Amino acid sequence: MKLSVYLGENLAGHLTSTAQNGVVFSYDPAYIEAGLPPLSLSLPLSTNEYPQKKCLPFFEGLLPEGDVKKRISDYLHVSETSTLKLLKELGGECAGMVSILPEGEQNKIQSTYTFSPENYETLSQKNLVEYIRNIDARPLLKAKEKLRLSLAGAQEKLPLAYKNGKFYMPKNGAPSTHIVKPTGQGTLSTLSANEYICMKLAEQSGLQVPNTKLIQIEDVEFLLIERYDRLCKGNEISRLHQEDACQALGILSNNKYQNDGGPSIADIYTLIKTQTTIPLLETRAFLQYLLFNFIIGNCDAHGKNYSLIFQDNSVKLTPMYDTVCTLAYPNLTQKLSMKIGKHYEIQKVNQADFEMLGNQIGLKPKTILDTFNGLVEKIDNAFEIIKNDPILKKHSDILETIQHKLIRTI
Ligand SMILES: Nc1ncnc2c1ncn2[C@@H]1O[C@H](COP(=O)(O)OP(=O)(O)OP(=O)(O)O)[C@@H](O)[C@H]1O
Ligand SMILES: [Mg+2]
């Protein structure tokens, strides 16, 4: 099987499954000649073919994970491990600007799309709610409607467009502008409210976050998150390229936790320091994200929950996303995705661990402590503001739990 990989309108190269060497990737000579951006920091422009070990982390990293991947694979009658077959079915619109099509299929992707009925079809609230209700039984509205969309992560998501209070399904290769994340079930039924609260706390604390709404239609609750990898100017929408830290470091999604071979804080810090355009700003932002996640008790801030965005020859850290107080759920692990100093157990992290972290990333322990204390104060103040948010009236329990779980001292 051979697939064509596009970055926006441009053919970047081909992904091929070979009998002897598994999956290989080669850049298209014209793409290299034109000096266009590499697909990934782990795949610099080269005339050499990239072997499976080098290229799979980026491409496999575009696919959903866990149960979502399993359900989609079952639905499509494709093996979960067959990255190429899954990309063939789902790769039409991935995170950022990447789209993957069977070789020979015409690439419809344009650099800019007008927000018009030709490109965006109205999605009624009734249909949206019906889709979310059946999301587990029928994982792919995408497959059914011949839409081919893929986002990483273990939770079901629906990329769509949203403007002036109305929902739309993109058509003809037009970009989605928002991500719908339905809330969890059972003990995780407060997950959307939890993520919403954490995003608002981050925003109020001065961190960069995408615009996020918590919406309830009938009995269905979901988050509506604006995509930071889209550029909307008036009625014109275009895509921006992004990749997560695991992809940039050449690490498979399966290994995203440090304990499973995933990146450490120092690995991501070094990536940001060496690859972003203004390292001083971006490393500072990363430290804030990291400490914010620690303070609010998010044990799931792994290497796929920090990403880089590429725009006009500049490389930046993306806004924060997927920030949840996992400590609110006693059945979830209390082990951090990336250890701080010597400790994975969030409750055991102490001053010596922060000092060790400082030494690892080349920051004075005082800088880390001052940032930590400053954030605790901002988050405490943020709670007072968020408590008045009318949408959280019925979520006072989870709000209180998150406030109670805050790690204010180390
Ligand atoms: N606001 C956004 N704009 C653009 N891309 C986003 C945005 N939020 C998330 N993404 C992309 O979608 C992916 C999945 O999102 P997210 O991490 O929120 O999902 P998840 O299923 O909760 O993940 P996890 O498995 O870590 O719990 C991210 O890794 C990122 O690439
Ligand atoms: Mg995630």
Structure token digits, residue 209: 């976050």
Residue bearing the CA closest to ligand 1, atom 4: 227
pLDDT in tens, 97-114: 999 999 988 888 899 999
> Which residue type occupies 69?
K
Lowest-pLDDT range of 71-80, 170-179, 180-189, 206-215: 71-80
Determine the Cα–Cα distance for residues 106 and 110; give it in Å rounded to an integer.
Answer: 12
Q: Examine the pLDDT at 172 and tell me if it is beyond 90.
A: no
pLDDT in tens, 251-301: 999 999 999 999 999 999 999 999 999 999 999 999 999 999 999 999 999
Cα dist from 159 to 200, 208, 323, 327, whole Å: 21, 21, 19, 28
Closest alpha carbon to 376 in 347, 408, 330, 398:
408
Q: How confident is the model at residue 143 (pLDDT cuts 50, 70, 90)?
A: very low
Report the pLDDT averaged over residues 385-397.
96
- Ligand 1: residue of 72, 94, 305, 326 to mutate (most ligand atoms within 8 A of CB) is 305
Report the pLDDT averaged over residues 24-43.
97
- Ligand 1: residue of 67, 71, 151 to mutate (most ligand atoms within 8 A of CB) is 151
Q: Which atom of ligand 1 is nearest to the CA of 65?
A: 25
Name the percent of the chain lying above pLDDT 70.
Answer: 97
The ligand minimizing its distance to the Cα of 256 is 1
Report the pLDDT averaged over residues 18-33.
96
Lowest-pLDDT range of 67-71, 144-148, 200-204, 360-364: 144-148
Structure token digits, residue 99: 């789209």
Q: Which atom of ligand 1 is nearest to the CA of 242?
A: 31
> Which residue type occupies 351?
Q
Report the pLDDT averaged over residues 401-407.
98
The ligand minimizing its distance to the Cα of 225 is 1
Q: What is the pTM of this model?
A: 0.96
Does 321 contact ligand 1 (Cβ within 6 A)?
Answer: yes
Q: Are 123 and 265 in contact (CB under 8 A)?
A: no
Q: Examine the pLDDT at 184 and tell me if it is beyond 60.
A: yes
Determine the Cα–Cα distance for residues 69 and 67; give it in Å rounded to an integer.
Answer: 5
Does 95 contact ligand 1 (Cβ within 6 A)?
Answer: yes
Domain ranges of the chain: 2-102, 113-230, 242-405
Does 241 contact ligand 1 (Cβ within 6 A)?
Answer: no
Residue bearing the CA closest to ligand 1, atom 19: 153
- Ligand 1: distance of its center to the CA of 152 in Å? 6
Residue bearing the CA closest to ligand 1, atom 1: 227
Residue bearing the CA closest to ligand 1, atom 18: 322
Beta strand 212-217 with 166-170: parallel, antiparallel or unpaired? unpaired
- CATH architecture of the region 242-405: Orthogonal Bundle (1.10)
The ligand minimizing its distance to the Cα of 61 is 1
- Kindly report the average pLDDT of the chain as a whole number: 94
Does 179 contact ligand 1 (Cβ within 6 A)?
Answer: yes
Cα dist from 215 to 56, 177, 194, 387, 393, whole Å: 36, 16, 13, 17, 13
Q: Examine the pLDDT at 137 and tell me if it is beyond 90.
A: no
Does 230 contact ligand 1 (Cβ within 6 A)?
Answer: no
Residue bearing the CA closest to ligand 1, atom 6: 227
pLDDT in tens, 334-372: 999 999 999 999 999 999 999 999 999 999 999 999 999
Q: How confident is the model at residue 138 (pLDDT cuts 50, 70, 90)?
A: low
